[in-house]
Amino acid sequence: MIHVITRIERPPKKLIDPFREIGTATVHEACGRKGAVSYAIKPIAKGVRLCGPAFTVQCHPGDNLMLHKALERAQPGDILITSVGGYYEAGYWGGLMATSAVARGLGGLAIDGCIRDSTEIIKMGFPIFCRGFSIRGTTKTVLGLINHPLLFGDVFVRPGDLVLGDDDGMVVVDRNECEAVLEKSVKRIEAEKKKSAQLKTGVSSMELNKLDKVFEFLGLVEE
Residues 137 and 79 in one domain: yes
What CA–CA distance (Å, rounded) separates 75 from 105? 8
Residues 62 and 89 in one domain: yes
Residues 133 and 42 in one domain: yes
Is 2 contained in some domain?
A: no
Is 126 contained in some domain?
A: yes
Q: Which band of pLDDT confidence, cut at 50, 70 and 90, is reported for residue 193?
A: very high
What CA–CA distance (Å, rounded) separates 5 from 151? 17
- Provide the whole-model pTM: 0.94
Residues 206 and 98 in one domain: no
Residues 112 and 22 in one domain: yes
What CA–CA distance (Å, rounded) separates 36 from 24? 9
Is 49 contained in some domain?
A: yes
What CA–CA distance (Å, rounded) separates 92 from 134? 8
SS3 156: strand
Is 152 contained in some domain?
A: yes
Residues 135 and 195 in one domain: no
Residues 212 and 126 in one domain: no
Mean per-residue pLDDT, 125-137:
97
The candidate with the shortest Cα–Cα distance to 54, out of 120, 129, 123, is 129
CATH code assigned at 42:
3.50.30.40
Mind listing the pLDDT tens digit for each residue in 86-129?
999 999 999 999 999 999 999 999 999 999 999 999 999 999 99
Mind listing the pLDDT tens digit for each residue in 42-64?
999 999 999 999 999 999 999 99
Residues 78 and 159 in one domain: yes
Total structural domains in the chain?
2
CA distances from 48 to 45, 79, 166, 203 (A): 6, 13, 6, 34
What CA–CA distance (Å, rounded) separates 132 from 113? 7
Mean per-residue pLDDT, 195-209:
92
Mean per-residue pLDDT, 195-217:
92
Domain span at residue 160 reads 13-180
